[in-house]
Structure 1
């Protein structure tokens, strides 16, 4: 089973490293980490990731996964990257994204008329690609699976493992990787966070980031 992760500069590394850690444990999994030219890409954490393949030598994906990050703003305007995603998606059993990686699927034409999610700060932009936002960490619509922000990529991976292999396999992998979330603080979602915390975070980071993402999307549609 070929699992292809498409990377680009300024990717959010946990969007990728979370699900790949789990999906790589699927029986028969072959993971392919690809970039346009096979060169390393930067992450939002100050280090780089060296891929396994370039677009030219990547096999057909059974599972296609596109992570997000601030680099999505440039990625959706990268014709080679969007065309690669579009062509891979045609033959994939599952087309998936984490966080704002959904917008790359949107640029490739795979959100139109679909239910989807992404990071909470950008969900209002999903209708620009013809999608309907569903407020959940993982949203299934046919063979399209989208995950919310960052850590939800692990939930998405376990959901997909259960769907492909079985719930028992998913539970075993979950135990092997000791995924038993017990955050030290409440407030990891909009529902559990104070209005003040949400307001301050939006003002400091996401109002500007979402506006820039909207401009980038409007430029290509």
Structure 2
């Protein structure tokens, strides 16, 4: 079985924990035996410093490639930057759709669901998002659920911010086994909340 590649795509105004929480889960899983490589990437290129929503500058580790798993964080839906700017620009939603069409599993955290919706991946599908975006997501063709993590096979989504850790732990459990996920949770002193829908 070949190594699983996961990429977490960064953009100006992304929420720090939406991206770094899953990154830490995946890195711990790899350290504990999962055959998983994770990178923080951007659309634009290598070595970019990306300004997150709370002012943290995060250095990307490369350009978005052709991962097995693509994680899309949220952040900034209620303002002018972040997810709202990304949705209006259209480049990232198009790139997400291209990776999905090529066979990637796609997961969103928080308001990243709005990017998946713009990419056309949530039509007729169950999804979760942050409470600030529930009405907007419900106005699309998605079926919005009040769940922490929603697994619809090749498209997954998580509610607000910290639920990204639960999403990542679920992905680790689904792909690499319950023992690895439990070991990661113990290492991170994180107790998962709620059941996974799906």
**Superposition TM-score, scaled by structure 1 size:** 0.76
Q: Which structure has greater helix proportion? A: 1
**Post-superposition CA distance 1:75-117 (Å, at most 9, x none):** 0122322221111122344210000000101111101000001
Q: Does the 8 A contact of 1:35 with 1:51 survive in 2? A: yes
Deviation at 1:32, TM superposition (A): 2.1
Give the count of matched residue pairs. Answer: 179
Give the counterpart of 2:148 among 119, 127, 137.
Answer: 137
Find the counterpart in structure 2 of residue 146 from structure 1.
157
Give the counterpart of 1:30 among 28, 34, 37.
Answer: 37
Please, which runs of 5 or more residues in structure 1 have no aligned partner? 183-221
Find the counterpart in structure 2 of residue 10 from structure 1.
13
Find the counterpart in structure 2 of residue 65 from structure 1.
71
- CA-based RMSD of the aligned residues comes to 1.6
**Post-superposition CA distance 1:30-76 (Å, at most 9, x none):** 11211121222111121211101124xx2x11111000000000001
Partner SS, residue 93 of structure 2: helix
**Superposition TM-score, scaled by structure 2 size:** 0.85
Give the counterpart of 1:124 among 106, 129, 135.
Answer: 135
Greater radius of gyration (CA): 1
Q: Does the 8 A contact of 2:9 with 2:42 survive in 1? A: yes
Query: How has the CA–CA distance of structure 1 residues 113 and 174 changed in structure 2, closer, same or farther, with 3 Å as cutoff?
Result: same
Partner SS, residue 182 of structure 2: helix
Matches for 1:1-221 after TM superposition, within 5 Å: 1-24=4-27, 25-26=29-30, 27-38=34-45, 39-55=48-64, 58=65, 60-70=66-76, 71-180=82-191
